Amino acid sequence: MDAVSQDTFAVCEHCNAINGPLNKYCSQCSYPIRGSDEEKASFRLTVSSRRRFLGDAMDKVKSARNAILGLAALFFIFGLFVGFGMDDFATMIVNLILCVIYLVLAVWCNQNPFGAILTAFIIYLTLIVVNMLIDPATLFQGIIIKVVIIAWLAKGIRSAHEAKGYLKELENLRAVPVDAD
């Protein structure tokens, strides 16, 4: 019995699925169970490169989340400054609400990074447009920081989107990274 199953069935080295006698590729993960060493190496390379891409994308997502937290801190500090420094309590309340919104987005970033960073990005651009129309001079105040933040968040949106693609691809190859979150 053992000898027969050795000849006809093959356990996949990659995902441990049992495959029929005719399969060159594993029917569950597409690992080339009866392929050449080159083909096996190529499969492993695909998996490891996708894991690396996923890791890189997740790093950029975490970085964008830090940008959102940084913006929350900026709104908080600016709010307190105009409130208690310049007695402008209406502007203070507006900035404190923005601070809370960005904190909510940073928390939501753990569940849906793409949605949270996209929302933070749109709200930030909206604030720049609104301030520019109220006072055109504000557009150029801290313009470098503004451009950096916009590029930072845009990178995060792209990376969050790509990360979903890599994760899906790894799931299909039955190779979900253990530390994926």
Decide whether 62 or 174 has the Cβ nearer to other proteins: 174
Output the smallest distance, CB 38 to other proteins, in A.
14
The CA R_g of the chain, rounded to the nearest whole Å, is 25
Burial tier of 21 (Cβ tally within 10 Å: 0-12, 13-18, 19+): exposed
Residue pair 55/49 in contact by the 8 Å Cβ criterion: no
CA neighbor of 163 nearest in space, from 108, 110, 113: 113
Decide whether 80 or 123 has the Cβ nearer to other proteins: 123
What is the DSSP-derived secondary structure letter of residue 1? -
Output the smallest distance, CB 87 to other proteins, in A.
13
Output the smallest distance, CB 175 to other proteins, in A.
13
Output the smallest distance, CB 97 to other proteins, in A.
5
Distance CA(69)–CA(77), nearest Å, equals 12
Decide whether 69 or 88 has the Cβ nearer to other proteins: 88
Output the smallest distance, CB 170 to other proteins, in A.
11
How many beta carbons lie within 10 A of that of residue 73, not counting itself?
Answer: 13
Q: Which amino acid is at 110?
A: N
The pair of structure tokens assigned to 25 is 């590729």
Contacts of 86 (CB under 8 A, 6+ apart): none
Interacting residue ranges for other proteins, rule: CB under 8 A: 19-20, 22-30, 32, 89-90, 93-94, 97-98, 101, 108, 112, 114-115, 118-119, 122-123, 125-126, 129-130, 133-134, 154, 157-158, 160-162, 164-165, 168-169, 172
Output the smallest distance, CB 52 to other proteins, in A.
16
Contacts of 46 (CB under 8 A, 6+ apart): 173
